[in-house]
Amino acid sequence: MARFLVTAGPTREALDPVRYLSNRSSGKMGYAICDAIITAGHEVVLVSGPTALESPVNADVIQVESAQEMYEECARQWQHCDALFAVAAVSDYRPSTMHSQKMKRASNQLSIELVANLDIVQTLAATKGERLVVGFALESENGEQHARQKLESKNLDFVCLNAPQSQGADVSELTVLHRDTQWQIGPCPKASLATKLVEVILENSNVY
């Protein structure tokens, strides 16, 4: 039995106590993958950003909000896991300043300085050794080209390519890339998609 670390959902990057930057990720795919891994007989620790979903049964669930919080929890858990499914839609950037009070409207224009967040999957993959790392890539153009670049530059074993319309959808599809091989899964409901994805990964990796 292997122990899987799964990330899911969006992150929220605070601008002030009221506002934040985020994205449209629902977390459905990550949560469905947790269920599929557990059904396959493995353990799961889920690090999740804010979602409206019920926690997967029999998973150890850790709730976080920001990209930094997600990284810190993942770094702690990664030491004790055999594989990583990095499904979360982590914000690439955060405001350089988090205002302590609600910002007041002062003019018709507002500029917000953003700074880059740490790339969580790349950072964890750098220390993977013989462990398995599966990443996700949501691309609006030249999808396969960008996904293969991520596969190589981030030291991933597999990368799962999807499209923006998959966010929040109940039916979706994935292109799974691995070295010189790829699989097309779906379109189908996300629960079925997750089951088929986990089957492909387990059949083509050294995780038992």
Distance of CA 150 to the CA centre of its chain: 14
Structural domains in the chain (count): 1
Residue at 31 is within a domain: yes
Give tens-digit pLDDT for 48-77.
999 999 999 999 999 999 999 999 999 999
Residue at 134 is within a domain: yes
pLDDT of residue 67: 98
- The answer to whether 111 touches 30, Cβ cutoff 8 Å, is no
- The answer to whether 134 touches 201, Cβ cutoff 8 Å, is yes
Residue at 208 is within a domain: no
CA pair distance 19, 6, nearest whole angstrom: 27
Residue at 178 is within a domain: yes
Residue type, 12: R
Q: What are the two backbone dihedrals, phi and then psi, of residue 203, each rounded to the nearest 5 degrees?
A: -70, -20
Domain residues for 76? 3-97+114-203
- Which whole number is the average pLDDT over 176-187? 93
Nearest residue to 50 via CA among 100, 105, 91: 91
CB-based burial label for 148 (10 Å; 0-12, 13-18, 19+) = middle
Nearest residue to 110 via CA among 95, 122, 124: 95
Residue type, 174: L
For residue 24, the domain's CATH number is 3.40.50.10300
Q: How confident is the model at residue 168 (pLDDT cuts 50, 70, 90)?
A: low
CA pair distance 44, 78, nearest whole angstrom: 12
First to last CA, the chain: 6
- Which whole number is the average pLDDT over 104-117? 91
Arithmetic mean of pLDDT over the chain: 94
The single-letter DSSP state of residue 130 is T
| Token pair for 4 | 């899987």
**Can 155 be counted among the known catalytic residues?**
no
Please identify which of the residues 23, 142, 204, 206 carries the catalytic annotation. 23
Give tens-digit pLDDT for 26-47.
999 999 999 999 999 999 999 9
| Token pair for 123 | 């950072």
Q: How confident is the model at residue 179 (pLDDT cuts 50, 70, 90)?
A: confident
Residue at 102 is within a domain: no
Residue at 24 is within a domain: yes
Largest CA distance in the chain: 59
The neighbour count for residue 42, using CB atoms within 10 Å, is 18
